Each structure stands twice: as C-alpha cells, then as structure tokens.
Structure 1
Amino acid sequence: MSLESVLAHFKQWNREGDVMEFETSSATVEEAAHTIGVIPARIAKTLSFRGEGDKSILVVAAGDAKIDNKKFRREFGFKARMLTPEEVLEETGHVIGGVCPFGLNKEMDVYLDVSMKRFNTLFPACGTRNSAIELTCDELFKYSTAKEWIDVCKGWEEFEFIGTVTVNNDGL
C-alpha cells in the first residue's frame, strides 16, 4: 500500500516511472548505498519526531548526518523525540526502512537538513524497504513540500571536503 501512495504522489509530476524497486534491501543507509552503488552520505534518510501538541514532523538528512540535540532544540523549541515504529507507520503510512516524505498518511511538516546540499542528487526511500528515487535538492524540496532548509545535524561536516593535499619542497 505504501509504494502505491508514493507512486500516486509522484504521478502529478510524471515521475512515478523514476521510482526504483530493488531485489535487495535498501532499509538502512548502508544497505541502500550498497544496493544503489553510492556512498552512504547520498542516501536521504527521513527521520520522524514528535512535534508540538499531537503533530509530528519529518526531517530529511544526508545518510552520514546525525541529529544534534542542541541545534534541534534551538530550531524547533522542543527536545528531539523520535516516534516509535508503530507511530511512524500510523503517521506516515510507511514502515521503518522505507519512510519518506512522499505519499504520507497524514499531513506533516517536512524540513530538509543542509547536510544534503553538498550533493547534486540524493536517494530517498519511496515507502518500502526496497525502493528509492534519485532527486536533486530542488526536486526533493518541491516533491516533499518542505517548509524550509534547516541546520539540525552534526557529524557530516568533517567529511564535506575530500581532495588532495599538495606538499611543497619544504614539507609544508
């Protein structure tokens, strides 16, 4: 049922044919990266939190990013508390390992973390433990109807630049 709601969601942009289904699991960041053939950081993981009152929120972040509790509290004004697997299924309509900001059961506020902006494209899940779609950051923002880009993650900045080091004749 969950994949069908995501396909219906993407149909409005004629993108349902771009949803990929795999023979192997893509339920974790590592499994998805291996299945798709990309580095784990390019997997766009969707995290679900209790919001204020009875409303839940989704934060989509790069696969190598972790929630920074201080940044989260500063951004939202409350402590980061993740939903239980049962609550995630009830709120989103998607099982853990397939959670995405598309084709949701209930209207939810979606936020995108800046940890993803370093990539041209990312791969969010599509409602099942063996599906994904390749999207640009702009497409992810549009298709998820995100409210805004936020900065609530840590652990990814130290891996932002991978390049070469040039040493001169003095060893400097």
Structure 2
Amino acid sequence: MTTALDRVRAALTLHGHSGGITELPSAAPTAVAAAEQLACPVGAIANSLVFEADGKPLLIVASGGHRVDLRKAASHVGVRKVRRAAPEFVLEATGQEVGGVAPIGHPTPLRTLVDTALADYPQVWAGAGLPHTMFRTTFEELVALTGGEATAVGI
C-alpha cells in the first residue's frame, strides 16, 4: 500500500529534488513545533493549508510566521469566499491527514497559492505527508514543485 510519505517522495524524485526527507524526533503539527525541532525561523516553515473555495480545494502554502488573509485569497482566485476545510475534505483532496499535509503528493493537482513571504528565507521546510516528516527546499523550487502561484497571502 502506498503511503502519503511514499507519494511525497515520488513527487520529489519526479521533479529532481535531491534533498531527501527529514524525520523529526516527534510530530510537528504547528509551524512553531517544526521550527523548534529544525532550529530554523518559524517564518521558514511552509505550512500547507487546505481551504474550500466555492466547494473546490485550494491549497495555500503560507509562511509559518503568517496567518492567511482569506479575503485576499478569495480575491486572488476569483471566488466570493474561502474557508478552512474540514479534516475529511482535506484527506479526500490530498490523501493526507491534517497536521502532516505536504504541498505535493496529492491524488490530483490542487490549485495552489505560495506565500511570497517564504522568499525571504534561503531555505524553507515543508511537510512531507506525515506529522513528523519534512523536506527542505527553496521558495522558487516550492513554486515549481507545486505548480503554484506566488502571491502575498499573509497577515
């Protein structure tokens, strides 16, 4: 059976990413917890957050130092309202559980916004499909890996 971690690893390999996946000592369900374990700034954590935009999944990869401005996101994608997705919706859209969602490795590609605040860091860390796994990347590579749109989404 293919796991979420396997799908993320396959997506990284497909895109030529050679950094590998880091297994943390314990689960890191928040950006603060991940930053503490990785000894990096919280803003360098790329939070993969799934929202509903007119009933469709919208992945927003936000800097751990920001909250997502839902009005700004809705305006950017051309919908009236963006709201946080229920855990079941997240699992169905990504094949991954809340607390370990990666920006890649989903059953089908998701429309993705990548927070431009992540460009402030020479390296960023993103979830790898499980609450205790992360991979190191750059802002530019993250945009390419996700096929995402770089935009300011934080407040």
Distance across 1 between alignment mates of 2:45 and 2:137: 11
Q: Which runs of 5+ in 2 are unaligned?
A: none
TM-score normalised by structure 2 residue count: 0.90
Equivalent residue, structure 1, for 2:127: 125
Equivalent residue, structure 2, for 1:96: 98
**CA deviation after TM superposition for structure 1 residue 16, in Å:** 5.9
User: Deviating runs (4+, > 2 A) in structure 1?
Assistant: 13-17
Equivalent residue, structure 2, for 1:86: 88
- Contact 1:55 1:108 survives alignment (8 Å): no
Equivalent residue, structure 2, for 1:170: none
Deviations, residues 75-120 of structure 1 (Å, cap 9, x unaligned)? 2332221111111111101111111221102321111111212111
TM-score normalised by structure 1 residue count: 0.82
Which one has the largest radius of gyration? 1
Aligned length: 152
- Counterpart selection for 2:118 from 116, 119, 126: 116
**CA deviation after TM superposition for structure 1 residue 51, in Å:** 2.1
**CA deviation after TM superposition for structure 1 residue 72, in Å:** 2.4
Distance across 2 between alignment mates of 1:34 and 1:127: 19
- Contact 1:27 1:98 survives alignment (8 Å): yes
**CA deviation after TM superposition for structure 1 residue 136, in Å:** 0.8
Q: Which runs of 5+ in 1 are unaligned?
A: 155-172
Percent identical residues: 26
Equivalent residue, structure 1, for 2:17: 15
RMSD: 1.5
Distance across 2 between alignment mates of 1:117 and 1:98: 22
- Contact 1:66 1:153 survives alignment (8 Å): yes
Distance across 1 between alignment mates of 2:109 and 2:151: 19
Equivalent residue, structure 2, for 1:55: 56
- Counterpart selection for 2:36 from 27, 34, 46: 34
Deviations, residues 32-55 of structure 1 (Å, cap 9, x unaligned)? 111111121110001111123x42
- Contact 2:50 2:57 survives alignment (8 Å): yes
